[in-house]
Amino acid sequence: MHVSHDPAAPESKKIGFDAFLAVDIRVGTVVAAEPFPQARKPAIKLVIDFGPVIGRKRSSAQITEHYTPETLVGRQVAAVVNFPPRQIGKFLSEVLTLGFADAAGAVVLFAPDQPVPDGSRLF
């Protein structure tokens, strides 16, 4: 599946509300972050705490243009938590951390503008 990062890309085809509900997007707090130099594209390995129900999950995120591991710890982020895990080299990425492309194509993380409980679901 290819997702366009181009703001001029045409709108995606219409889906039913049930399809939206099938995508489980939650907020969590980054509790650990470290460089991932072995990745093909520059990335950061994250450990995100999604609260007591989902727990801590790992993610590889290509967010090195705007973020460093030190600036990510303690930050809330949004992620899809119900995709199958993806093996990236020797690292198993368990969730897809969400962001938008800026004008240059670099990822800007998607997060709530007020603190919310870890594990909260997007609706």
3-state secondary structure of 121: strand
pLDDT at 2: 45
Q: Is the pLDDT of residue 1 over 50?
A: no
**Mean pLDDT, rounded, for 86-112:** 95
Proportion of the chain above pLDDT 70, given as a percent: 94
C-alpha 41/C-alpha 54 separation (Å) is 28
Q: Is the pLDDT of residue 16 over 60?
A: yes
pLDDT at 84: 96
| Number of neighbours of residue 36 by Cβ within 10 angstroms | 21
Give the pLDDT confidence of 33-58 residue by residue, as tens digits.
Answer: 999 988 889 999 999 999 999 999 99
C-alpha 115/C-alpha 57 separation (Å) is 19
Cβ neighbours for 75, distance < 8 A, ≥ 6 positions apart:
29, 30, 109, 111
